[in-house]
Every structure is written in C-alpha cells, then in structure tokens.
Structure 1
Amino acid sequence: MTGTEVRNDTENTGPSGYAAARLRLLTEEARSGPPRRTALAELTDEWLTGLFAAATEGIGGGVSLVAVGGYGRSELSPRSDLDLLLLHEGGDAGTVAAVADRLWYPVWDLGLALDHSVRTPAEARRTAGEDLKVQLGLLDARHIAGDLGLTSGLRTAILADWRNQAPKRLPELQELCAERAERQGELQYLLEPDLKEARGGLRDATALRAVAASWLADAPREGLADARRRLLDVRDALHLTTGRATDRLALQEQDQVAAELDLLDADTLLRQVYESARVISYASDVTWREVGRVLRSRAVRPRLRAMLGGGKPVPERSPLAEGVVEQDGEVVLARAARPERDPVLPLRAAAAAAQAGLPLSLHAVRRMAATGRPLPTPWPAEAREQLVTLLGSGRPTVEVWEALEAEGLITRLLPDWERVRCRPQRNAVHIWTVDRHLIETAVRASEFARRVHRPDLLLVAALLHDIGKGWPGDHSVAGEIIVKDVAARIGFDRADVAVLSTLVLHHLLLIETATRRDLEDPATVRLVAEAVGTQGTLELLHALTEADALATGPAAWSTWRGSLVADLVKRVSAVLAGDADDEPEPGAPTAEQERLAIEAFRTGAPVLALRAQTEPAAVDEAPSGEPEPLGVELIIAVPDQPGVLPAVSGVLAMHRLTVRTAELRALQLPSDVDDGTVLLLNWRVAAEYGSLPQAARLRADLVRALDGSLDIAGRLAERDAAYPRRRGWVAPPPRVTVASAASRHATVFEVRAQDAPGLLFRIGRALEDAEVRVRSAHVSTLGSNAVDAFYVTGPDHAPLPAEEATSVARKLEETLRA
C-alpha cells in the first residue's frame, strides 16, 4: 500500500478506514522494520489530523496536537501506545475539554492504548521541570496538526531548558537508568529479557539521545543506530506474534518471533538481541563516563584557571605501563605510544587498566583496533604475561574486556572466541551467556590465586574451559582440541599445554563424580586419579571446579557440594601422593657465571652482567627480521654476606624493573681457584616503562645498598608517594605457608602474593629481620601473581624448628598484608 492509498482510504472511511488500513499495513509481508514503523506513524498522523480538524472546526488558532515519546520519533510498533499532547494557549477550558474528548474517544473506541495530556506551553514546561520522564518525552515532540508556531515554540523552550539544566538533570537521568538496570537486569544476558526496560534496551537508547541533545556529550555512534533498529524489529515481531503490547521476550514465544523475522532459530534471535544490547550498554558506559568527566571539569576549571592565572590547565598524566598513562580517570595511550609497532600494547593497556580499576579510553581502544599489529605466533612472553595479569585483576576485568570486545580486539587475539560470543545458555542454572560466563569464571578464579602453584594456568583454563560450546558434540571434548591450539599460540610450552587441555577436558569431572558416585569405592577415586595425573593438576582442577560453579549461578554451588568435592580431592590426593621433593638441584654454573663469581670474590664487591633475551619473530610479523624482545637476563654475583636479597631486589625496584623470574643460590668456588662462597643471582627483568638503566648505575646503587649508605625503603616510599598506584580491586590476601615436607636440608617458605613494586624487597628484608639465612630462592611472576619459594636455614645452617618456622611465616604474612 502506498502513502497515497493510505491517505485516500483514511479520508474516505474515517476511523473504520484507518483500522482497515492499519490492519493491511501490519499484515503486509513485503513491509517490515523501519519502513513499516514510519508508514504506521504517517497513517496515524493522517487519521489524527482528520480528527483534529473535525474537533477544532469553528475554533480559531492557538491549539495544536503534538506526538511525544516513541510516537514523536515515528517509532510505532504494532501495539505501541499513542503518546499525545493537546497543546493550547489557555483559552476557554470547556472548549479545550471538548476538543480533547473528540480526539481521545475515537482512539479508545478502536482499542488503541493512549497516553494523553492537555497543557499550555507554560504548564508543559513546569511539568517537565518537575518530572524527568515528562521532559524526556517532550524532547522528541513532533507536530501533527494545528498551530505549528505553538508546537515549535514549545520544542524550542523545552530544548533550551534541557540544555540549561543539563548539569542537574543528567545525573538524575543516569541514576534513573541505574535503578532501572538494578530492577530489570542486563538485556545482553537474560533468557527472557525486557527489550525496553532492561539495561542495554530501548530505554537506554532513548537516554543516549537525550544526552546528545544536551550538547554536553555524545554516544559512540558506530553500530548504535543498527542496534536500536534490531531491537525495534524484534519488538514489532513480538507484538505481531502475541497480539499484545508486551516488551518481554518470553521463552515460549521466541521460536515464533524468530520465524517472523526469518531467523534460523530462537538461539539466533537471542544472540542478535544480545549483540544489540551489548552495543547500547557499551555506548552507555562510555557516554556516562564522558558526562561525568565534563561535569567534573566544569566544576574544577574555574579554580584551576584562577590558580594558573587564567591559563588553560594541562591534564595530569600518570604513567601506568610502557605506552600507557592515566588521564582524567581513564587509561589512555602515552604520546609516544605506537600501536602499529607494538603488538603487545592492547594487552598491556588492558592489564594496566584492570589493575588500576580504571576504564580504557574509547579513543585508545579504537586507535589500537585501527592501527595495531597482530601478535606473532607464538605470542611473545610479555603478551602472555599481560593476558594473565588482565584475567587475574578481579571484577575490573569485566569492563576492560567488554571495551576490547566492542572494538573487535578480543576476536583478533582469540579467533575461537567468536563462536561463544553472545551465545545463550538455555539452562536455568546459568545466569550468563557463554562468553560472559567464561570471564566471570576467570574473575572467580582470581580469588583462588593463592591456593595454587600455577595461577597463570588456572586463569587461562577458566577463560577457555567452555570454549567448546561453540561447536557440536561434547563441549569438553571439543574444548580440549581447541585449547591445545590456543594455548600453543599463546606461547605455553608442551607441558603447560598438556595441563590446560586436561583441565578443560575434565572441568566437570570433580563435581560430577563427587555428587553422582560412591566415594567409598576405591575404583572411583582411582579413575579420577588416572584422569588427573598429578598433584599439581588436581590442585588446579579443584580451584577451577569451584570458580566454574560460582560463576554459573547461585544454584550451582553450595556448602554441601563444596564438602563433597573437597572430600574427593583429599582421597585422590592420597592416591597421587609420592615421595616429597627436595630442594631443586641447581645445574652447573655457566662459564660466565663462574667468571662473575670469581671476580666478585676477589674484588669483594658485586659484579653484574646484562644480556637481552630474545626469541625469533614470526616471519610475517617482523619485516625487519628483528627478534621479539623477551626482557633482560641479569646475572649478579655478590660475596656471601647478609642482606643481599633485599639489597638487590630493592635496587631493581628503585629502577622500575619488574622481576619476571629469579633464582638465588650459594655457589661454592673450586678450591683450585678460590676457596669461598659467592651468592649468585639470576634474574629475568623488564622495565615497567621507559628504557632499561645502565649496568654501571645498577652496580653503583647496589654497592651503596650493601654498605648501608642507600636508603632503599625511603626511596621507594618517596616514589610511591609521587606516583600513587591505584588498585581497582581488592586482591586476595597474601599467603605464606611452610612446606614442611619439601626439603630435608632447609625450611621452605612458599609465598603467594599480588605482585607489586618492592614486593621482593619487603620479603627479603622480613627474612633478614627474622635472622634466617636464605640458602636459595626461586621466584616467579605469573601475570600479576608472585609465586615464590625460599629455602632458609637458621644460624646453625639447619632447618628451623617447626614452631619457629610457623612464627616466621606468620610474621612474614603480616608484613605483606600491611
């Protein structure tokens, strides 16, 4: 039906003609989506214009009919309300009431829902000032019939009021959106979502239009219009299939709605809804952040200008990592950052943002997405470490991950992610989509980082344990195949890949066995032990099982289930238990290490050597042929004396060097060379940001630290005061345990803590204060987690008595908690 046919039919037959034309329009298969909504609005405009003309016959000007809200935007769904305002100049009340009756009753007679009001422009402005929802509706006011000047004057006044009142009204609108989200949930995860009221729905899209109308901020526009259109299309189909004015997409109606939209099935429908909601939610996050920034700057700027003599204030930029800084409460790229030359930058920026609890700037994410280089295969070590740091940052990981995903960076890093992205889970136990469940599991797993020796493997397994749900068949079996490829590309070695694939294949083993099998049967425990293989894998699987269940939903985990799993783990552990390992046997020193040790002993002073570590770059990713940097190997030899560990680690922290791995051991020099003991420290370090310091400067500071003339603690405190580090989440508390069976020759302290500048210095100083001698140390930084082992003896070179060892461990833990 053409627009001309619609108008003629309406004019000739009146309300009944409108009803017939409306029915034909809604059942016309060739027309749907925006064209049908526009045609329905035009058809309704024509009919109401006729009603208005008849109702105001014999009355002069000064009256107009105005569409507001969704009708004002010409977004009429089949069962939408008609939001109408009868605007008048304040003439005879009886006359105005009669006009209103002649307009409203025909609408009611046709069974159409009507939201109506009768006001003067002054009343409309006053009501809008008192009721935010009224004001939002009037922002979309559109003239239908009558006095155009009256309507235009109101529109101009309402927009002016909105812009003038924006600093007050926008925070109210944000609070309104937050309260609605709390009540209705997130559209992108709900199995029966409310397309209008849930977070990321049509109400939020309208709120973004209102923010843009204020001229204070604007939403990211890429994809926003399409997302809004898709949600409106789904609502249209929902109205048509149910015959009701509903916005809730119930389970029993999803197949019909999918068929109405020519979609494959209900899962395809939900995925389309989730993708649209995700675009709107992300745009809302970015927009409200910008609103807050603008309002804060308006409040602060006059004071700053006064302090600076009227000059324009320069935003403060605090460094967070190489190429990454904080500015105005966001993480942005440093001026010298070059995404086109630094493929690790997206992960480094994301990890820094999550650790600081700050959002990633939209501009930064888009720049990295547009100009960044792909990572080589396998990934360089830094990229793997930054991914683990991001995953281990707790709740802030979610917002940062969503920012990367919104610009396509996640699927670029992990192509297999595309199959689980926005994938619904039709299971009442699950409260998230597959992809969000995986991130939620990583968040939960970060809470258990102190329980396991390899938190990096736990976090990556948490991220990938359900990756097979995007493929047909058993998702655990499919996931095992996928994770072998993904883990190898990320850069894990064969042993770690084997552990990760075992964790993914058997991530349901413990919970299913504990709740469905007889744990008193030795065969049950033996089968689990054979599947798991090692104590280390069992430890990881136990933590993954709990994290997975907690991330599923409140019905998936309980004290009872936890006790059953713990009992099973205890029984399996007993089967897997073997002889305790002793202190790792060090390999023979290299020629360079021996040369440095001899020089240190003869000179009585520390000596060191720096050597860059590299690995070959992928052929396609490094046209220059240059290898990818892994960091720097630092070898230090120091004559055996107290205070070496805190001195060396403190000097490295002063120079902003991050310790990736470290080993300390006592080296007995051959009697034919020099009969003496030298402490040999082998470190792999990397600069937090900026360039590496010169070896001569490191050695000079180390000499001063050892002779007591360099106040390391004071210098670190000054630096931290100048550049305070924000923590966006509360890390799990440090954990110090005594591995009583780990060595026959020494007491072994295992320290698991959140990595931070100066952490190793604090540990070393605490051990020195306890008057124990560090025989050897084995330090690893796995993402943001430090996993360290210290083999110590007392003054008599023997292991500490059990009671003393427990006391030292407790004091060390208290020191790290402070």
Structure 2
Amino acid sequence: MGFSVAVDLPASLREQLRAGKSAVFERLCAPQGVRNIHAVLKELAVQADAALRALWQDAGFGEQLALVAVGGYGRGELFPYSDVDVLLLLPEGSEVEPARLEAFIGRCWDAGLEIGSSVRTLDECLSEAAKDVTVQTALLESRHLCGNKRLFTAFRKAFDAAMDPDAFFLAKSQEMRHRHQKHDGTPYSLEPNCKESPGGLRDLHTVRWVAQAAGFGKRWEDYARNGLATPFEVQQIKRNEALLSLIRARLHAVAKRREDRLVFDLQTAVAQTFGYENETGRRASEALMRRYYWAAKAVTQLTEILMLNIAERLNPQSATLTRINDRFFEKGGTIEVASDDLYEKDPHAILETFLLYQKTIGVNGLSARTLRALYNARGRMDSRFSNDPVNHATFMRMLLEPRGITHAIRLMNQTSVLGRYLRVFRGTVGQMQHDLFHVYTVDQHILMVLRNVRRFFIAEHAHEYPFCSQLAAGWDKPWILYVAALFHDIAKGRGGDHSELGARDVRRFCQKHGVGREDTRLIEFLVANHLVMSNVAQKQDLSDPEVIGAFAQRVGSERYLTALYLLTVADIRGTSPRVWNAWKGKLLEDTYRRTSRALGGHLPDPDAEVEARKREALTLLQLHAQPFEAHKALWDTLDVSYFMRHDAGEIAWHAKKLSRFVAPKGIPADPHAKAIVRARLSPVGEGLQVVVYTPDQPDLFARICGYFDQASFSILDARVHTATNGYALDTFQVVTTFLPEHYRELISMVETNLAQTLDAWGELPAPSRGRVSRRVRSFPIQPRVYLTPDEKAQRWLLTISASDRAGLLYSVARVLARHHLHLQLAKVTTLGERVEDSFLISGPELHGQRAQLAIETELIEALETA
C-alpha cells in the first residue's frame, strides 16, 4: 500500500499545483487585481517548495544530501512558467545511487515541476563556479529547501569565502554589455524582452548580484543604508521593478508558456489585463508599451548609477579627480559634477555637461554622481529651461562640434534631458510605429538616422557608403543635416501629415536658435520632403525625362538635392536592418545622378543618351572578343525605351548572351521557339540578374513571377520589353535567402528551370496561400490600389500597397494577364513586412471606367487572399 501511495504522489501533487497556479493566474490577470506582485511570485515559489519537500520525503533521502534552490527560484520568487532550478548537494564520498537521484528528478517532472537540476558535491560546486560565472551567479542566490542543513551551511561558507567581488563585478559587467548588444543596445525595440533587454529585469538582477557578492546587502533598502543609492532612487527602482515583474508574470499567464518577449501577438492580451482598451487613435498595446518603455528607461538610468557606485566602492583608488573648470571634474574617464546641487543652482550647467562630454578627450561617460544629479534635477528642466537663450547657444555649439555628436545626443536621451529640452521630441519617446516597416520606436529611429548621417562625415566609415561619404566630404554644414534628422519624424503619432507638422516644428526651432534664413529654408525643405526621393526612386520610371524633370524642379538646386539624398539614405537605413538592400541604393544613386545632370542644364536627350550607351556597350563587347556586328540583329529589334531603361553594361550582357538566338531580318520569329534564360550575379552586388528572351505571350510576366515565387526568390525590379520581332526581352533583379557561395548552382537552376516552366505553357496555376508573419497578423494593413494615367492617358501607373506575403506578386500578375494588360516596368519595394509595388502598364481595357473599376476590385481581392 505504501508503494501505491508513492506511485500516486506525483499525480496528486500535479493536481494541487495546477489548482494553486490557476488560482494565482485568476488573480494575476484581473485588471488592477494585484497589489503586490512579489507576494504572488513568492506564493508560486512556496507551492513549488511544498511539492519538492513532499517528493524529497517520499524519496527517503533524509540527511544523506541537501536539496537547494538556486537561481531566481533561490530568491524565493517564481514566475508562472519559469524553471524550478535546484541543486542536489552531495557530501564528499556520497554513496547515493545515481538511479535514485534520476528517479527523484523524474518524479519532479511527473508532478508538473519544470525542473532545472544539477547534482554536485561541495568541491564540484566551487570548481564549476570558478570556471563559469553563470554557475557562480546561480549558486550566489542559493536557498536551503530540505535535507542536510549542515552540508548546505558548509557550502555557503566555502562559496562566500571563494568569492572574488572584483572579478565577479567585471564578469557580470561584461555579460551585461554583451547582452545589451544582443538586443541592439536599446530598450525600445518593438518586441522587447522584458527580462533580457536593456532596462529589463536582468539589469536589476545584475545590480543585486554584484552588490551581494561585494557584501553590500541583498535588499534594495540595504543599498540605501550603505550609501549606494538614495531613498528616492530605491523607491523608483522598486516601483519600476514591480511593474516589469507584473508585465512578465502576466505575459507568462497569457501565453501559457515561458515567454519573456512582448511579441505583437501577445501585447494586446497583456494590455487588457492592465485594463487598457483600444481607443480612437491609440491601441491598447500602445498604452502598455509606452508604460513599459518609460519603466525600462528609468531602470537603465538607475542601474547605471548603482553599477558605477559599486565599481567605485570596489576600486576607490581609481577615482582620481582632474579639474575641467569650476563646475566639473574628470574622474576615471567620466564627467563629475563639483557639487550634488550644481544643476539645481545653475540649470545652464545641464547642457554644458554634454558639451564637455563631446569636447573632453578621454571622457567616455558620466559619473554616478553626475547621473544622480541629472536624475534629481528633472524638475528644473521645464519650459523656461527649453526656451532659455543660453541653452540654445549651448545646444548649437554641440551641433557644431566636430566629434561626439551622436553619443552626446544619445546620452541626452538616455538621461531624459533631450525630451525635456526639445519638448516636441518628448512625445516620440516610446512611441510605437505600427507600419510593418520600422523596428524601433520613433525616438530610437530618429537617433539611428542621426547616427547614419553622422557616419557619412567620419572617414573611418567611408567604406560603408562611398558615394554618400564622397558627397559629405564636400558638404560645408553637417549640422544642417543633424537638425533635419532630429526633426524628420518628430511629429509621428500626432495625427495629420507628420512631414508638414515636423516642418513647422523645425521652423520654430530654427527661429529660437538663431539659424539663418537660407539654412532654415533648407532644413524645413528636408523635413517636409524627406519621403519624396525614395518615392521617386522606388516607384517611378527613372528613364522618363518628365519624371526626372519634375523631381529636379521640386528640389531646385544641387545643394538641396545632395542634402535630401544623404538624409534619404540615412532614413531608409534607420528603419530596419531588413529594409535596405544594394538595389535600393542603386536606384537612389541613379536618381541623384540623373537629377544632378538635369539641374546642371543637361536635360535627358533620348537620342543622344541612346547613342552614348550603345558606344559604351560596343566597347564592352569588344573586350569579350565578340564577332563584328554580332549585336546588330538584336539591337535592330529594340526601341529607344529599351536603351533608356538599361545601362551600357546590361545592354552589352544582353547582346553577348542573346544575339545568336535572333532570327535574321525579314525572317519571322518562330512562335514555338524555346525560351532563353540567362542569369548572372547582379552587378549591383546582391542577388541575381536574370534575362528572359522568348516569344511574347499575354501571361508571360505572371508565369515568370510564379516560378520565382515557387523557387523562393523575391523580385526587386522587372523591366519588360517587346521587340519588333514579337519576342519579349525581360530583365529581373531577384534575391534569395540561399547562401551566396552557392551562386553557380543557383544560376544553373534558374536558367534551366525557368526556361522549362515557360516552355510548358498550359493554364496558370492558382496562387499559393502564403503564410502570414506574426507582425502582419498583429498589424494588418488595408490593401490599397491606385491607377493613374500619364498626361496622354497612353500608359498608366499602377501602385499597390499591402502586407507582404508569399505569392503576392504572382497574384497581381495573374490579374494583369487576365485583362491582357501589357507591362513595361515593375518596381517591387519591400518595406519590412509591407510592400509598395508600382507597375507601368498599358492596354485597351484601361480606357473604360467600368473595366478600370473591375481591375482595381480584382487586385484588391488578390491582395487580400494572396
């Protein structure tokens, strides 16, 4: 009977734990239903304690060894789905059978405890801790559960004696730095990890660990008594820790698993546990995330103060002071205020701090005393502070400094000074962007763009964007671009056109800061038009002289064009690592060069341009020892638009690969001729360039799109031509996720398989239903379709906007084929997980209003169901 009880114990405990956890979850997820989150976490730990002790007693270990709680569980707190980390501490020469230990751990899992276990002797614990700081950290928070208490006491005594506070502090500081880098060094990613991201719970844990290792106490109140923190700072830490802990606990409960990332799928559900609901102009998730970001920012500031204080306590001899002026010292590579109340007495010294940070060689941060003084002086940074002419002069001096601008502005934001000085910037802090395009909050995106602009002017980064650096080298006033970067998205989230609102904001800034009229006009232009150049480059036909002429008229001068180009590149690069690619870079550079020529009075002359490209292409062909006039048969079938849309290198490549397949003049083309497909590494430096030469057919573009979709290629650009001999000559820029070292196999695969697909004919297959990403599911956007004619209504520009998904372009191509629309140009722009595609099309059906409506309706249906 005793055996029966033992067998049933795990099942009984499982039910008890499930019931206990359910009761806790019910309280935990009720809006405003938790007054003390730490009491809830302690209750979950107590439930686990009781189950482990029952299993221990049932296993009959008695005093043979000790069961020890370690890690977060060792603190006496347990999040709903966190691991229950335990150590089975063995005496030296233990005779406990390994099978018994394995059986105990197995029964823990059977009871519903997600155990993370280790089995070690005291000496093994010390040895592993010496080798691995992660093991050392877990053992630092060890707590006796049951079993041999004297063995545990001996372990604690030996562990504490072996602890080297200096080495532990250094290791944990490095670990924190690497962890922050892994999470992009910012708490403001749109899906932050509330435990591991900068400003998350792990930062607070790190402070506790290094303070405990150094003997400064285990509780926040201990740090106030030891002078590491003020009572106010302790109060702020505890308040923000409680909020982050509550968010993490509710995140676990809502996800029904261990999930520490505030992913889009769960943000709304977690927000609702706080009582937030969707409102006009603001989502429930947005309210929650703003609250999270402010807490994470406070944690970042406060943990830095404490870490610096602990470092100084551990190494007091390193804190030598060197006078900078009457108000500031340099202290171990940081700026130190001369008195704690400096900012209270003289608020002008606040911005002076960051100017000195830029100017003082060897300084790489602010001291704990300075950070604390800034934190406590936030009340002095009011409207009078932001409107003070002395502060205006100091801020402009910062922008004019030759070094440190990005670091200084970032530090101003981290210490909450930037948003209090530039009041309009404050509204961007923690402001989410639900456009499937940006991966940062508005303030972090702005600072990323500022960083990108700054890098154009730094010689060490010239290899990143050589053309941008070349233009920047000739630019006389970098600060103009810095101001434009700071204000280009500053009106996001306020409703209305953020470009227009931002232009008004920056005009007021320039007036307050004494910026001259010409410079003000340029900065205002950049903010108002910061989206225009990318729109022209990525959506319009750059071979059309009217497109270039209209854009040239809008920018007005080469100075304005250069400034807008540099800001545009920096802006696109600052949205998401996935958005920029070499093809977009080429389109923007082509736009710049063509517009520059137009501004210089060299308006595109199609005939002269074609002749110049032909001459250059012939030179390239001669380098490849092509037969005399081998190109002529092909070129005679191509019109001006072909030569205007391709550069000399592409024209030469086409002639080299296709000329021998062209029938002599006067001989009709064979409508059943095999498709010719050739591919090469893209000269742009990313993906492949593919040319297709085959008898034209109405659904050709759709078939090609279908193949690329099935083969997991993304089309970036398509240029479609119909030669006078009835052949289609279509060129595609495509990219894939396959590794670049396999390009030979990729080229062979594309040339063979695409040709077979086109030769097969038959009905177009139905588009596949591509899987939608988490972000698209969380933030769907309404598909939009626009059809606009050119001045003569001969060609139409079709623009679509939709959430990206596999098969989308093929679905659009099928609609175009169904209505016998002739495609001349396609530009596919992927912005994160949103697409903005444009097509230059023509066809009889576009001239009837009813047919236009039918086409638009079918396209919207295709975008919704793709």
- Cα distance, 1:177 vs. partner? 3.2
The AA in structure 2 aligned to 1:27 is E
Deviation (angstroms), 1:539: 4.3
Partner of 1:739: none
Partner AA of 1:255 in structure 2:
T
Shift of 1:496: 4.8
Instruction: Name the CA distance, whole Å, in 1 between partners of 2:239 and 2:210.
Output: 19
Q: Superposition pairs for residues 732-743 of structure 1, below 5 Å?
A: none
Alpha-carbon spacing, 1:12–1:182, altered in 2? closer, same or farther (3 Å): closer
8 Å contact 2:446–2:489 — kept in the other structure?
Answer: yes
Equivalent residue number for residue 47 of structure 2: 43
Compared CA separation, residues 94 and 369, structure 1 to 2 (3 A): closer
> Aligned residue for 2:538?
515
Report the CA distance between 1:364 and its aligned residue: 1.9
Match of 2:18 in 1: 19
Aligned to 1:361: 367
Equivalent residue of 1:155, what SS? Answer: helix
Identify the residue that residue 642 of structure 1 maps to in structure 2: none
Contact 2:10 2:110 survives alignment (8 Å): no
Q: What residue is the counterpart of 2:167 in the other structure?
A: 168
- 2:447 is aligned with what amino acid? I
SS in 2 for 1:386: helix
Hey, what's the Cα distance between the residues in 2 that align with 1:453 and 1:177? Answer: 40
Instruction: Write the deviation string for residues 147-198 of structure 1: whole angstroms up to 9, x where unpaired.
Output: 4454344334433432xx1222332233333344444544624334444344
Who is 2:586 aligned against? Answer: 560
* Residue 154 of structure 2 corresponds to residue 135 of structure 1: no
Corresponding residue SS for 1:467? coil
**Pairing of 1:629-644 with structure 2 (within 5 A):** none
Q: Is the 8 A contact 2:305 2:371 kept in 1?
A: no
**One-letter code of the match for 2:80?**
P
Kept after mapping to 2: 8 A contact 1:323/1:336 = no
Secondary structure of 1:468's match? coil
| Deviations, residues 271-327 of structure 1 (Å, cap 9, x unaligned) | 3444444344445555555566666655x7xxxxxxxxxxxxx824142x6744322
Task: State the distance in 2 between where 1:405 and 1:347 align.
Answer: 12
Aligned counterparts of 2:80 and 2:520: Cα–Cα separation in 1: 55
The aligned residue for residue 670 of structure 1 is none
Tell me which residue corresponds to 2:244.
Answer: 231
Opposite residue 358 of structure 1, the aligned amino acid is N
RMSD of equivalent CA atoms: 3.8
What aligned pairs does 1:693-712 form with structure 2 within 5 A after superposition? none
Q: State how 1:81-100 maps to structure 2 within 5 Å.
A: 81-90=83-92, 92-94=94-96, 98=100, 100=101
Instruction: Please say if 1:485 is aligned against 2:508.
Output: yes
Partner AA of 2:442 in structure 1: V
Q: How many residues align?
A: 548
Matched residue, 1:105: 106
Is the deviation greater in 388-397 or in 27-36?
Answer: 388-397
CA–CA distance in 1 between the matches of 2:23 and 2:263? 27
Note if 1:420 corresponds to 2:428. Answer: yes
**1:86-121 deviation per Cα after TM superposition (whole angstroms, max 9, x unaligned):** 3344475237964x4564333211343211123343
Tell me the distance in 2 between the aligned counterparts of 1:216 and 1:350.
34
Go from structure 1 to structure 2 and tell me whether the alpha carbon gap of 1:322 and 1:386 turns closer, same or farther (over 3 Å shift): farther
How many angstroms apart in 2 are the aligned matches of 1:533 and 1:342?
46
| CA displacement at 1:79 relative to structure 2 | 1.2
Structure 1 Cα separation of the partners of residues 508 and 588 of structure 2: 32
User: Which position in structure 2 is the counterpart of 1:278?
Assistant: 297
Partner of 1:570 in structure 2?
596
Tell me, yes or no, if the aligned pair for 1:525 and 1:571 is still in contact at 8 Å.
no
Alignment partner of 1:244 is 2:257? yes
The answer to whether the Cα contact below 8 Å between 2:193 and 2:261 also exists between their aligned partners in 1 is yes
Matches within 5 A, 1:305-454: 315-319=320-324, 323-334=327-338, 338-340=342-344, 342-356=346-360, 357-368=363-374, 370-371=376-377, 372=380, 376=384, 379=387, 383-391=391-399, 396-427=404-435, 429-446=437-454, 447-448=456-457, 450-454=473-477
For residue 705 of structure 1, what is the aligned residue in structure 2? none
Q: Relative to 1, partners in 2 of residues 1:233 and 1:374: Cα closer, same or farther, differing over 3 Å?
A: closer
Using structure 1 for the length normalisation, give the TM-score: 0.59
Tell me, in whole angstroms, the C-alpha distance in 2 between the residues paired with 1:280 and 1:399. 20
Unaligned runs of 5+ in 2: 1-8, 217-222, 278-283, 458-471, 604-866
1:213 aligns with 2:219: no
User: Counterpart amino acid of 2:523?
Assistant: L
Compute the displacement of 1:469 (Å).
0.8
Task: Report the 3-state secondary structure (helix = DSSP H, G, I; strand = E; otherwise coil) of the residue aligned with 1:476.
Answer: helix
The answer on whether the counterparts of 2:71 and 2:142 sit within 8 Å (CA) in structure 1 is yes
Distance in 2 of aligned mates of 1:195 and 1:369? 23
- SS of the residue 1:144 aligns to: strand
Q: 1:397 to 1:104 in 2, by over 3 A?
A: farther
Q: State the SS of the aligned residue for 1:556.
A: coil
In the TM superposition, 1:59-78 aligns within 5 A as 59=62, 61=63, 63-78=65-80
Partner of 1:456: 479
**Equivalent residue number for residue 259 of structure 1:** 272
How far apart, CA to CA, are the structure 2 residues paired with 1:323 and 1:77?
A: 47
- Quote the residue 1:3 is aligned against: none
Q: How far did residue 533 of structure 1 move?
A: 5.5
Report the counterpart of residue 528 of structure 2 in structure 1.
505
Change (3 A) 1:441 1:19: closer
Amino acid of the structure 1 residue aligned with 2:357: A
Alignment of 1:517-556 (within 5 A): 517-519=540-542, 524-525=547-548, 527-528=550-551, 531-532=554-555, 536-554=559-577, 555-556=579-580
CA contact (8 A) 1:339 1:373 kept: no
Contact 1:187–1:195 (CA under 8 A) maintained in structure 2: no
- Give how far 1:373 is off: 6.3
Tell me the amino acid that sits aligned with residue 362 of structure 1.
Answer: A
Asked which structure has the greater RCO (Cα within 8 Å, sep 6+), the reply is: 1
Deviation by residue 1:792-816 (Cα, 9 ceiling, x = unmatched): xxxxxxxxxxxxxxxxxxxxxxxxx
Percent sequence identity is 26
1:393 to 1:70, Cα distance in 2 relative to 1, 3 A: farther
Between the aligned partners of 1:242 and 1:416, the Cα distance in structure 2 is: 36
Distance, in Å, in 2 between the alignment partners of 1:55 and 1:338 is 64
Tell me how far 1:51 sits from its aligned partner: 2.8
Q: Which residue of 2 aligns with 1:629?
A: none
Q: Separation in 1 of the partners of 2:24 and 2:525?
A: 58
Contact 1:325 1:332 in 2 (8 A): yes
> Cα gap change, 1:475/1:326 in structure 2, threshold over 3 Å: closer, same or farther?
same
Deviations 1:548-580 (A, max 9, x none): 233334433643034134225415643799xxx
Task: Indicate the SS of the match to 2:320.
Answer: coil
**Cα-to-partner distance string for 1:598-623 (whole Å, 9 max, x where unaligned):** xxxxxxxxxxxxxxxxxxxxxxxxxx
The residue type equivalent to 2:593 in the other structure is: D
In the alignment, the residues of structure 2 paired with residue 556 and residue 394 of structure 1 have an alpha-carbon distance, to the nearest angstrom, of: 28
Shift in Å at residue 244 of structure 1?
2.2
Tell me, yes or no, if the aligned pair for 1:360 and 1:403 is still in contact at 8 Å. no
- Are the structure 2 counterparts of residues 500 and 294 from structure 1 closer, same or farther at C-alpha, using a change threshold of 3 Å? same
Deviations 1:775-802 (A, max 9, x none): xxxxxxxxxxxxxxxxxxxxxxxxxxxx
1:17 Cα deviation (Å)? 2.5
Alignment-derived partner of residue 202 in structure 1:
201
Corresponding residue of 2:152: 151
Q: CA deviation at 1:70?
A: 1.3
CA distance in 1, matches of 2:140, 2:529: 56
The Cα shift of 1:507 comes to: 1.3
Give secondary structure in 2 for the equivalent of 1:423.
Answer: coil
Mean Cα deviation higher: 553-562 or 413-422: 553-562
